[in-house]
Chain A
């Protein structure tokens, strides 16, 4: 006896995954990384820059699954580590984790409503910073000016949440809901 599933020609899966083509994502990631390291510092808000890379990873995670979010998060984080200072693997690990978490949340109630998505983006920003701090500390690097970093982290969480709200409201294609945002 076997429990192997058999696909029925008439029964489509309940959740329709519609991941964008990988090459399109790669191009967008490249453009976003460039923008993050050249334009974003010019629009910093109280020392906090908009997390364009994080928004892309979260969006992709919600549009795909754990594997997609994890992989894009790791690649995007590695790009940030390459351009940042002595961050080691801080952004690689932290971005991969929040990407995987976003993938895990894909198709759940979170992705169906702005009311959940916007706070989720803020929370993801904070979680990412937390993991970044743990990883860099584990690498033996001192966390200098922790109060200032905490301050910037909170501002970036707010910044990203506002950006996410604006994108979800004014650019319908960025939606991650499979039935339409509420």
Chain B
């Protein structure tokens, strides 16, 4: 009997087939979970294990960034401090008058109520990002064990951050407002014109606004009542309005109120 393959060839072939099977099994588990819209046990295990280390790495990174920032800013701090104290006195006076104005505007008052009277909100820290930056998603350090639920809204002190799209035991994933797949019902505060706020990866676009709405730059955009958010949470300000010829709707580019490049502590709203 003539042997076609050598021992080495056979071992190599066996190793290749084995590796392909292992890789295919991993891929199928991921695909199966993706199709069912759930997180696979593989994802859960990896995300949980890596989450702890992400927390540590993020803390270290934040500390280092703050330290470097403080050192660089030190010469300007004394000068800035005096200017800020004067400005603070002026702002305190302005704040008092604005509080009066807030009480007369239901949407803005709702923002204040949501931020101040949200005892069931879950405070979480941002610990990670999409590794390849393909989607605008961040990882926070609270999961279902802390009470985070899918589709819960996430805000910070400036306004809407996004909504929960993945929940693991100790971590969760937040789809940012700027992601192209993010869609949030929105209202232009001045005229109560409705639209859908969707991401452009860097900003937010207000779509499907009626052509008779008189949008203009500077208009404040807030959330409409929806599954993830209560009405009145700030989304951003209109910076540009587009009136496509012959289109049924107009579109506006919105500058978000939240600084997505420097996300720190966020509040997960009860769902």
Contacts and interface: CB of A to CB of B under 8 A. Distances in A.
* Chain A complexes with chain B: yes
Interface of A: 1-5, 30, 33-42, 44, 47-49, 51, 53, 66-67, 70-71, 73-75, 78-89, 91-93, 96, 132, 139-142, 144-145, 148-149, 152
B131 A53 contact: yes
Given A38-B129, A84-B130, A152-B134, 18 more contacts: A33-B50, A38-B128, A41-B129, A44-B133, A66-B16, A70-B19, A74-B23, A79-B50, A82-B43, A83-B50, A83-B128, A83-B131, A85-B135, A85-B173, A89-B26, A89-B30, A93-B23, A93-B27
Contact of B133 (A49, A73, A75, A93): A49
B201 A38 contact: no
Contacts of B53: 30, 34
B31 A139 contact: yes
Given A3-B6, A49-B131, A78-B26, A39 B50 contact: no
Contacts, number: 163
Interface string B38-52: 000011111100100
Contacts of B2: 1-3
A82 B42 contact: yes
A77 to B, nearest CB: 8
B8 interface: yes
A75 B130 CA distance: 17
Contacts of B46: 78-79, 82-83
A93 B29 CA distance: 12
A47 B201 contact: yes
Given A39-B57, A83-B47, A48 B34 contact: no
Contacts of A139: 31, 34-35
Interface of B: 2-4, 6-8, 12, 15-16, 18-20, 22-23, 26-31, 33-35, 42-47, 50, 53-54, 57-58, 61, 65, 127-135, 137, 139, 165-166, 173, 175, 179-181, 200-201
Given A34-B50, A37-B131, A86-B34, A71 B165 contact: no
5 contacts: A4-B6, A5-B7, A84-B131, A84-B134, A88-B33
A39 to B, nearest CB: 6
B201 A145 contact: yes
Of B15, B27, B61, B165, most A-chain CB atoms within 10 Å: B27
B30 A92 contact: yes
Contact of A89 (B20, B34, B44, B139): B34
B22 A84 contact: no
Contact of A74 (B8, B22, B47, B127): B22
Nearest to A44: B133
Contacts of A74: 19, 22-23, 26-27
Contacts of B166: 85-86
A80 B20 CA distance: 19
A36 B131 contact: yes
Contacts of A30: 50, 53
A7 B179 CA distance: 58
A33 B26 contact: no
B131 A80 contact: yes
B38 to A, nearest CB: 11
B6 to A, nearest CB: 5
Of A38, A67, A149, most B-chain CB atoms within 10 Å: A38
A71 B181 contact: no
A13 B88 CA distance: 76
A5 B184 CA distance: 67
B3 A4 contact: yes
B30 A78 contact: yes
A91 B130 CA distance: 12
Contacts of B20: 70
Contacts of A42: 61, 65
